[in-house]
Amino acid sequence: MDQAQFIEISNQALLAAAIVSIPILIPSLIGGVLISLFQALTQISEQTLTFVPKLIILIISYFVAGPWIVRYMINYTRSVVERIPEISLPS
> What integer pLDDT is reported at residue 71 of this predicted model?
96
Asked whether residue 9 is domain-assigned, the answer is no
Query: What is the distance between the alpha carbons of residues 25 and 59, in angstroms, rounded to a whole number?
Result: 12
Half-sphere exposure of 64 (CA within 13 A, CB side): 10
Q: Supply the pTM of this predicted model.
A: 0.77
Query: What is the distance between the alpha carbons of residues 73 and 19, in angstroms, rounded to a whole number?
Result: 10
Asked whether residue 45 is domain-assigned, the answer is yes
CA dihedral 61, 64, 67, 70 (to 10 degrees): -20
Asked whether residue 25 is domain-assigned, the answer is yes
What tens digit of pLDDT does each residue of 40-85 get?
Answer: 898 888 777 788 888 999 999 999 999 999 999 999 999 999 988 8
> What integer pLDDT is reported at residue 91 of this predicted model?
61
In single-letter form, the type of residue at position 55 comes to: L
Asked whether residue 1 is domain-assigned, the answer is no
Higher pLDDT, 86 or 35: 35
Asked whether residue 76 is domain-assigned, the answer is yes
Outline where the chain has alpha helix (H).
3-42, 47-82
